[in-house]
Homo-oligomer: A and B are copies of this chain.
Amino acid sequence: MNPDDLALEVASRMRRLEAAILGGGIVLEAARAGYAKISLLAKPDMLNGHGSVHGGVIFTLADTAFAYACNSSNELAVASQASIAFLTPGREGEVLTAEAVEQAVAGRSGAYVVTVTGAEGRVVAVFQGLSRRIGGKVVEEA
């Protein structure tokens, strides 16, 4: 099976299984081997007490892109650690996009960098995630 086709099937399956996350608003834009891109429209119920998008929403979006990317080879992997820096506030009504790129894989561990952008490519947050393969598959392989 083509690695990019497999990655897309894995991301699609994960998307379906966790359909309720962020109110069902996550859109899968692209998935390839070691890569995923998703987006989300920031709605009023996603704001924090200061009126900008809640950090938890931004993290969840980044973490979801990371999860798709680190499972893209269909080797079941979970997040063991993640770090996020919030650079600019996310605003109600804008589309937030998270793009996850594989940085390194060593043994059962993998490192991924995710960039979350808002309108006109403004960087909202940067994220680095560390995954660990735990055995098993996401989808069946022929």
Task: Please give the residue numbers on chain A whose beta carbons come within 8 Å of chain B beta carbons, in ascending order.
Answer: 13-15, 17-18, 20-22, 44-50, 54-57, 59-61, 63-64, 67, 76, 78-89, 103-107, 109, 111, 113, 115, 122-123, 126, 128, 130, 138
24 examples of A-B residue contacts, CB within 8 angstroms:
A14-B49, A17-B49, A18-B49, A18-B54, A20-B44, A21-B46, A21-B54, A21-B56, A49-B67, A54-B60, A55-B63, A56-B57, A56-B59, A56-B60, A56-B61, A57-B60, A59-B60, A81-B81, A81-B86, A83-B84, A85-B109, A85-B128, A104-B115, A104-B123
On whether the beta carbons of A115 and B87 are closer than 8 Å, the reply is no
Stoichiometry, copies per complex: 4
CA distance A82 to B55 in the complex (A): 10
- Measured CB to CB, the closest approach of chain B to A46, in angstroms, equals 8
CA distance A22 to B56 in the complex (A): 9
Q: A63-B56, A87-B106, A128-B126 are in contact. Are A50 and B21 (CB under 8 A)?
A: no
